[in-house]
Amino acid sequence: MARFKRILLKLSGESLMGEKQYGIDEKRLNEYAQQIKEIHELGVQIGIVIGGGNIFRGLSGASKGFDRVKGDQMGMLATVINSLGLSSALGAAGVKARILTAIRMEPIGEFYSKWKAIEAMENGEVVIMSAGTGNPFFTTDTGSSLRGIEIEADVMLKGTRVDGIYTADPEKDPTATKFDDITYDEVLRRGLKVMDLTATCMCKENNLPIIVFDMDTLGNLKKVMTGESIGTLVHN
């Protein structure tokens, strides 16, 4: 049995690069689709938000001279490209998926509304919510917090390259230790980079727990959903 009925799955754009330096690694994309299919078969209602950092990141564009608003809009479009890729991979795996976009761009995707997303999930479709919030100056972390709260998800699952939250970056600091669970207040007090500040505060204020886990290891998503203790739980 799945421990959550409805989830918001946040996927990293960078992780989609897999072994590549840029863009989408088809192998990684298909692995993600298979993992999503596994939990879909448990009857879980699934909403997904994907980042766009494998293609373009607005903030890094701004540091290179791009206008920040245009850079963020380019980043939003990058998330749409990733969403189309994941939707295609899910379709090939036999899972119905629907793309909703925060900016009008039919026929690429339907314009997002909470009610449309919930109705599609209740009908057994995986809903991929792309283009962030549709506004500049907001990250896809904030987009996923907003969508998770809107669709009344039981939890946000943040799939990353790391197997949880550590006292420091484990890729840089070998002495970093992992938290099994941690409160939002502690995350904020320690200044841990779980998500950006806006996203963290939104989840805290709306009581949306987050589980940060390693999505790049096959089978981990199902382990989280069936209650195995992997990753780090963030809660009030």
CB 226 within 8 A of CB 1: yes
Q: Token digits for 35?
A: 């993992």
Is 72 annotated to bind a ligand? Reply is: yes
Query: What per-residue confidence (pLDDT) applies to 168?
Result: 87
Q: What stretches in the chain show pLDDT beneath 50?
A: none
Is 167 annotated to bind a ligand? Reply is: no
Query: What per-residue confidence (pLDDT) applies to 161?
Result: 87
CA dist 80 and 55 (Å) reads 11
92 — phi, psi (to 5°)? Answer: -65, -30
User: pLDDT > 70: what percent of the chain?
Assistant: 100
What pTM value is reported for the model?
0.95
CA dist 68 and 71 (Å) reads 5
Query: What per-residue confidence (pLDDT) applies to 108?
Result: 96
Is 183 annotated to bind a ligand? Reply is: no
Is 139 annotated to bind a ligand? Reply is: yes
Query: What per-residue confidence (pLDDT) applies to 57?
Result: 79
What are the sequence ranges of the domains in the chain? 6-234
State whether residue 59 is helix, strand or coil. helix
* Architecture of the structural domain at 6-234: 3-Layer(aba) Sandwich (3.40)
Is 216 annotated to bind a ligand? Reply is: no
CB 35 within 8 A of CB 218: yes
Is 135 annotated to bind a ligand? Reply is: yes
Backbone dihedral region for residue 43 (phi beyond 0: left; psi -120 to 50: alpha; all else: beta) = left
